[in-house]
Structures are given as C-alpha cells and as structure tokens.
Amino acid sequence: YEGVRKAQRMFLTYQYMLTLPLAALTAMSEPFIVLSRVSSKDAMFGSAQAASNTFRQALRGIFPKYKKKEAEQAFNSILQGYDGTLAERLGDISGVEVSRFITDKFFKAILLTQITQFSRDIAFQAGQRQLKRDITSLVRSDITGDVTTGDVQAQKRLAELGLIKQNMRLDDPNSEVLAWANDETGPVPPELIRKAMSKFVDEIIMAPNVVNRPLWMSRPSLALVAQLKGFMMTFGNTVGGRAWREVLKPLAIGGPAGRRIPMDEAARYGVALLLIVAASMGIREIKDEIRYGDEPSAWKDSKGAKKWIDALISSNIFGPGTVLYDALNASKYGSSALVTMA
C-alpha cells in the first residue's frame, strides 16, 4: 500500500537521523582498508593526492572557476566521484528508498559525505597508481619472458578487477589501456579502466547492494530489520572474507596441502587490521566522551584484552558476527538480545 510505503520511508529516514549523527567518526577508519590492497607507498601517495583534491574542491566553493587538476578529473570520471552517490550508499541499504532531499542535507551536515568522498579519492588515487604499474609489469614480462613473483601477483590483481591481456588489448601498439598506463593520454582513463576502478573503490569504501549483501535484505517487508546492517554484512563479506581466503586459511591449512603467502601481503593485512582496530578504539573513546562525558560506561569499564576484542568486533570485520556479539552482551547496556539483533 502506498500509505504504508510512505510511512515506512519516513520512519527509515528518521532512524538514519537518529542513529547516524556520529557516523562521520566511524567513516574516518575506512581509508586504512586501502592498506590491505595496495602498498604503503601507494597509500601515502593516494592520501596526499586526495588531500590536495579536497583542498582544491573547497577553494572551488569560493572560486567556482578554479581549474580542476588532472587527478580531480580522473576521480570525477567514475560514478563514485560524485557526492550524490552517497545517498544511494545509504538510501537503498534495505531495498526501500528514503527521503533523498532530507538525507542528502543531513549527511553533508554531519560531514559524512565529505569524509566518504575523501576516502574514495584515496582508494582511487592509490589504486590507479598500482594499476598502471601492474599493467606495465605484465607487458614487460611478456616481452622479456622473465616472469617474477611480482608479475604473477600483478596479473592476479588485474584479474580480480576483470582485466586480462585480451580485453586490455595489450598486444596492440595502439591500445588505449597501454597508452594510459604509460601516461601518454589525458587524465580520464579508458572506459574499461573506469569500470575496474569503480569496482576497486566499492570494495574498499563499502556500498551495500543486491550483489554483496544477503538476499533477504532486499525484501521491502524486512526493511526495518535490515536497516544499517548492510554495512557490517558487506564489510565482513568483502574485507573479512578476503583476509580469510588470502591469509588466514592458507596459514591454517599449512603443510603440503597449504600454500605460503608472501610476507609483504601478510604484513599489509596485519598493518591494515591493526590500524582499523586502533582507529575503532579511538573512535569509541570519542563517541563515549560525547555521549557520556565523565559518567561511566561499559566501554570505559572494559580493560586490557576485553577492550581490544570489543574494538575488533565493532570494526565489523566479522560481518554478522558483530550482531551476535552485541546480542550476547546486550544486558550490559540495559537491552535484550532480541532488540539488539532487530
């Protein structure tokens, strides 16, 4: 019924505004996920370039004709480079639209839009730098016939983004992709690369959709239950799932049936996880200070390993496990397990 749908839409919008005023703080930890996919050198370059782009965008609010740099033009060439996509990131989590006019204004007011775009820009700039190097590495190994471990890893990273020699036409001297990788074209990447970079950015700065979230979350009748759970599900499936497949599972199998993983890859995931947990702890401290001030709270009372475990779980790396953990500890916060899971 149309009346029920309108009421549901307004209630969902109200719930976003009630539960997300401090969401920008949580979003500040997202850039650390980049470290699990690119080298620290590329991540530092991406952060510096994104900071420059953000500063220039702020200046453009005062001087509208201020020219865009090539890095800005490249980022704006993908869908995620526009502020409006943030509304879809939150608005369609449960398969039911919310009031876009209200949520757009709200997300900008709490700085969630700005922080998310900055994080996306970091992922794009760092990923683009690595992508160019992987393409040139693949071409060089084909020419010399000398295939190193780094070349194999580069080919694997490209394949994960749907890029292979055939669709990139690397055997063609006039290949657009090859010219782009060698910085012989303009700032805007070819269409094939733009699609790959969109996928890369979405895998780091999560955008829950019907593909990467559980199917039941797309049922309109369950919108109120699924609300805001799409992030933790997608985060767990994407980041946690990748860490399990590429690091933990090979190490757990071990022996002849297992396989070794490169030390740099293991270190990358380790550093990324450590920074995410550390950021989660810092963010919880800030949120508790805002909410409770000098009054006691369950987070302030937790000590040592318990605090680290709480921070690890709250990072959402275990996906639905976060809901289960919160439900088991609901009594500490004066709630019940069923209410927490709902």
Decide: 328 and 238 in contact? Cβ < 8 Å.
no
**What stretches in the chain show pLDDT beneath 50?**
87, 90-91, 93-95, 257-258
Contacts of 116 (CB under 8 A, 6+ apart): 27, 30, 86, 89, 205
The set of long-range contacts for 13-16, using a CB threshold of 8 Å and a minimum separation of 24, is: 13/98, 13/99, 13/102, 13/103, 15/227, 15/228, 16/90, 16/98, 16/103, 16/106, 16/228
pLDDT at residue 115, as a whole number: 87
At residue 93, the pLDDT reads 46
Q: How far apart are CA 328 and CA 339, in angstroms?
A: 11
Residues 212, 214, 220, 225: is their CA dihedral positive or negative? negative
Question: How far, in Å, CA of 308 to CA of 277, rounded?
Answer: 8
Write down the pLDDT at residue 138: 92
Do 164 and 213 touch, CB atoms closer than 8 A? no
Q: Supply the pLDDT for residue 342.
A: 59
Q: What angle do CA 152, 161, 234 make, to 5 degrees?
A: 120
